[in-house]
Amino acid sequence: MNSASSPTPQRIAAITLDERTVIRRSRAIEDERAAAITDLLKENHFAPVSGLGGPYRVHLAVEENRLMMEIRGETDGASESIVLPLAPFRRIVKDYFLVCESYYEAIRDKSLRQVEAIDVGRRALHDEGSTLLTERLAGKVAIDHDTARRLFTLICVLHLRS
């Protein structure tokens, strides 16, 4: 079998979010969630430092202001959990959603220049959150920048409570 067509073991093959705490989400947020999952599953690099074999099924949940990341190897079913405090993400997530709201409003009735300016701020906050996630996962899971961006989007979605 050609190695280019076989699955890369150090990748997320499936991802789920704990939806128990979700009350409602806007259509825009649902679209962001769906796009992040689709893009993540299409291409990612995810390698637990523990050596757990992949590809992986990942489940994300928020409990008691902590991100719970359950990682299960698809091949052998072995698993591990990573817990990250969410306090360091609080400001970035809040600012990110404020900028996203401004962005979606601007698309409807602002000039292209205004929309682009808001989008620059939105991307900068997204990059800041992605960098923080990469730093917090260091020594636990190696991820690339695009994987961090998509996981950060999903963490933001999990933060929504109303």
List pLDDT tens digits, range 82-141: 999 999 999 998 898 888 888 888 888 888 888 888 889 889 999 999 999 999 999 999
Confidence of residue 21 (pLDDT cuts 50, 70, 90): low
Torsion of CA 149, 22, 79, 40, to 10 degrees: -30
Per-state percent for the chain, helix, strand, coil, to nearest 5:
50, 20, 30
What residue spans define the domains of the chain?
A: 12-159
SS3 (DSSP) at 2: coil
> Looking up tokens 């190696």, which residue turns up?
142
